[in-house]
A and B are shown apart, each in its own frame.
Chain A
Amino acid sequence: MNQITLNAAVRTEQGSKAAGRLRRAGKIPGVIKRMSGESTLIELDTHAYEMTMRGHHGDQILVCIDLDGTKVSALLRELQHDVISGQVIHADFGEVDMGHAVRVEIAINLVGIPDGVKNANGVLEQELRAIHVDCLPTDIVESFDIDVSALKVGDKLLASQLNLGDKYHVTTHKDTVVAAVVAADEEIEVAAPAPAAEPEVIGAKKDAAAPAAAADAKK
């Protein structure tokens, strides 16, 4: 995987108001968590960031941050998005040592049409979208392609059944379901609306609740 280079600058201002000013000026506030335990506050150009990251869909991507001339190898740990527009509002990087294994979350991409979907009208459910693995930073990929074409209705693919190669050590629990083929939902016919029964009131005495409802009905 080619390493992505991002240009960044050290920022001195911190806090939500300063971060808001940065965003209005077309910058993304971010942070690099250093291996020494310290944090470096940075700012990235929004347009340059979007152009660089276009086409990269991994949850955690290895990047080289050019921080005012100093190169830092870091892992994109977390991105915060605006809840409505979806724009990036904060980027969280973690510095990595290229010789040591790191724990990362890598997306799972299901490949193929399961037998149960093709022949038995089942529905493929992807229960796990990303898997936790320990690997060297250079071995980080954007996603794992998992073939599910052999799954029949009722079959499940567990995390322990994934064959990711020797480079990756899966740390997700082995019994976690990655994908399953289930029978399609039966449509529940809507009967005539039943009289609106009231739910049980927690802590109310049964004989006291009935007169209250009756008194309301009289009003």
Chain B
Amino acid sequence: MPLMPKRVKHRKVSKGSRKGFATSGEKLAYGEFGIKALGRGWVTNTQIEACRVAINRHMKRKGKLWVRIFPDKPVTKKPIEVRMGSGKGNPEFWVAVVLPGKVLFEVGGIPESLARACLRLADTKLGIRTQLVSR
């Protein structure tokens, strides 16, 4: 089951704004290490899931992972070879809007070297620049 909300108010939403900086979720709340976004953009549900799987596999059941973002924004696409017009396309995937400063993933209960390796794997799967942060 892909990562997405159980209930929504609207099936399709506008593109929205990506202005400004993160005003919430910008500090480590649970773990000892994390990655913070330096850029801005949309992170898809498949990217989040790929990061989660990569981190958990690399940790080998030693630590704990917290995912601090959730894809709650639907993105629509028109089918291929369809002329413009005739309304908005179908919802295709879900994204989380990430602003600079947002902490995306946190890990705890593991040494720093392992945490760095895990979070580097997650960094490579994201489309935005990130930075490792620690307490």
Give A residues with C-beta under 8 Å from B. 83-84, 117, 121, 123-126, 129, 182, 184-187, 190, 193-194, 196-203, 212-213, 216-217, 219
Contact = CB atoms under 8 A, between A and B. Distances in A.
Given A125-B108, A187-B56, A198 B61 contact: no
B22 interface: yes
Given A83-B100, A216-B90, A219-B86, A199 B6 contact: yes
Contact of B101 (A84, A185, A186, A196): A84
The 3 closest A-B pairs by CB, nearest first: A83-B101, A123-B109, A184-B61
A202 B90 contact: no
Determine chain A's interface SS by DSSP, over half rule. Answer: loop
B51 to A, nearest CB: 12
Q: Which of B11, B22, B79, B86 has the most chain A CB atoms inside 10 A of its CB?
A: B11
A121 B61 CA distance: 8
B8 A201 contact: yes
Interface string B1-27: 110111111110000000001110010
Contacts of B64: 123, 125, 182, 184-185
A200 to B, nearest CB: 5
B57 A187 contact: yes
B38 interface: yes
A202 B7 CA distance: 6
Contact of A123 (B21, B53, B63): B63
Interface in B65-86: 65, 78-79, 82, 86
Contacts of A201: 7-11
B91 interface: yes
A126 B57 CA distance: 22
Contact of A202 (B1, B9, B65, B100): B9
A140 to B, nearest CB: 20
Contacts of B6: 199-200
Contact of B79 (A117, A124, A190, A219): A219
Contacts of A194: 1-2
A186 B64 CA distance: 10
Contact of A126 (B79, B101, B108): B108
Interface in B38-52: 38, 49
